[in-house]
Structure 1
Amino acid sequence: MEASSSTALYPQRRCKNIYLVRHAQGIHNVEGDKDHSAYKSPALVDAHITPLGWSQVDYLREHVTECGLAKKIELVIVSPLMRTMQTAVGVFGGESCTDGESASPLMVEGAGHSGRQAISSFNCPPFLAVEACRERLGVHPCDKRSSITKYRTLFPAIDFSLIENDEDVLWEPNVREAIDTVAARGMKFLDWLWTREENEIAIVTHSSFLDFTLNMYSKECHPTIAEDMRKRFANCELRSMVLVDRRSVLVLLQ
């Protein structure tokens, strides 16, 4: 009898667990839901999250703490935009800073119109800002980042060392990044992620970046799985996935 199976086994050491998070509700989401043309408003440049967004952050923080995920995360990668960094430090960061604490805060008090106390970097994973997981670039001012100089004052414990330019040289006012280009950028980002030594990684990013990237990966999946992967992320939604190097899988199967 010829052996066959519809399932697959991979050694855990050949996989990474990644936790994809879309940022909490931003002011641009509110205005865009009322009138889509509002996304082009200069008033929404580098949009920050809303009071409802902060409530979403608090809810997700409670969830990752109660389920034990917060203690497993080895690295938090974040898109360098206000709303994603606020979401990331609110969900995976430490508690409120205390008097006499020596560690740099992940977020200073009131950063980005938050009305929040400073968030501590004590006893939490490192945070790394990466431009490759930014939102679709161009035209919409909400997707244009501020200077790294400004961000370093607001988020002192986030590592911005991988970002080459202080000002945003990627966003263009009159050219919208093509969907295929975003997807290719996302897949290249995940290939880079595989080279990291950490095995439990949270990525706090954006809806279009997630939609276009996961749509490309879903093309190789069974239709039921593809449908699941193509579902649009809600604000502050977290999904767990396993990242596998297919080259290693081929070696294992030979």
Structure 2
Amino acid sequence: MDGGAGPSLFPLHRCKTLHLVRHGQGIHNVDGDKNYKAYLSPEYFDAHLTPLGWQQVDNLRKHVRACGLSKKIDLVITSPLLRTLQTAVGVFGGEGYADKADVLPLMVANAGNSGRAAISSLNCPPIIAVEHCREHLGVHPCDKRRNISDYQFLFPAIDFSLIENDEDVLWKADIRETKDEVAARGLKFMNWLWTRKEKEIAIVTHSGFLFHTLTLFGNDCHPFVKKEICKHFANCELRSMVIVDRSMAGSNDSTTNYPGKIPSGLDLPSDVAVENKLEREEPDSGFT
């Protein structure tokens, strides 16, 4: 069927379910939404969540539990910035941390001036930090991260092993990524997802990254579907989408397919028996 003309069919093992989340309101968003130039302010370096942002996180946490999503997610991927790390652990982390528990907390108490209690890493999916899903790089101090060693102290149970450099070598004070460069980075990130074995993944990231990345998708859909994919995310908004591997990039076999195991012999269905008989026959030599 032509793209956009009707429903499409894909093998389940060539699909992943992505739960895309924009972080809760950060301190930079309050003034930045009123005046874009406020994003240039050094005081918003690696902006943390506002009290309203934490309320948004609490509301989303309640939602993912009420709808059963929290039990389905295999992995949480987060951008390594304070506001996304706080959102990721607040939404998808365990309950309150008990000091006597023999596990590291996902977040220590009052991390990033949050005023929040420590969060447990028990009974929740693993959370890993990935540079590829960071916000638009350069110029804006709110989008510059601190050293990974600082984050490891604040978020002990988050996996930062995929990040090569302790210092932020990607953010430049005088050079800002173009929109096309953000989109290209986003596409690279999406392709990387196919190297992961997990099938249901939550991604906690940023408005600009989501918008520029998602504009590359949906061109084979109805215009209303394209619009639904690409519209800007609100703070702490979650949208669930399915990404399809059309290029055989994923190599995993299906865990649910069953080949049928039809026994050989006279009890074969007639159409299968005929096909098998034709396959076994020698090519016609022309002699009778």
Q: TM-score range by the shorter chain?
A: over 0.9
- Give the corresponding residue for 2:203: 203
Q: Is the 8 A contact 1:136 1:182 kept in 2?
A: yes
Does residue 114 of structure 1 match 2:107? no
SS in 1 for 2:215: helix
- Give the corresponding residue for 1:9: 9
In the TM superposition, 1:1-254 aligns within 5 A as 6-248=6-248
SS in 2 for 1:201: strand
Distance 1:7 1:200 in 2: 22
Q: Is the 8 A contact 1:77 1:128 kept in 2?
A: yes
Distance 2:226 2:105 in 1: 40
Q: Is the 8 A contact 1:48 1:112 kept in 2?
A: yes
Distance 1:51 1:88 in 2: 16
Distance 1:43 1:22 in 2: 22
Greater C-alpha radius of gyration? 2
TM-score by length of 2: 0.83
1:48-78 deviation line (CA, Å, top 9, x unaligned) = 0000000000000000001100011110000
Distance 2:221 2:215 in 1: 10
1:81-103 deviation line (CA, Å, top 9, x unaligned) = 00000000000000010131111
Q: Once superposed, which parts of structure 1, at least 4 consecutive aligned residues long, lie more than 6 Å away?
A: none
Query: 5+ residue gaps in structure 1?
Result: 250-254
Distance 1:187 1:223 in 2: 21
Which moved further from structure 2: 212-221 or 183-192?
Answer: 212-221
* Post-superposition offset of 1:13: 1.9
Q: Is the 8 A contact 1:96 1:117 kept in 2?
A: yes
1:124-175 deviation line (CA, Å, top 9, x unaligned) = 1111000000000000000000000100000000000010100000000011
Q: Is the 8 A contact 1:194 1:243 kept in 2?
A: no
Distance 1:218 1:247 in 2: 16
SS in 2 for 1:188: helix
Distance 1:216 1:11 in 2: 22
* Post-superposition offset of 1:227: 1.2
* Post-superposition offset of 1:221: 2.8
Letter paired with 2:35: D
Letter paired with 2:204: V
Letter paired with 2:141: P
Letter paired with 2:20: L
* Post-superposition offset of 1:6: 2.6
SS in 2 for 1:49: coil
| Alignment coverage as a number of residue pairs | 245
- Give the corresponding residue for 1:252: none
Identity of aligned residues (%): 65
1:203-242 deviation line (CA, Å, top 9, x unaligned) = 0000000000001113343211111112110000000010
Counting helix residues as a fraction of each chain, which structure ranks higher? 1
* Post-superposition offset of 1:7: 1.8
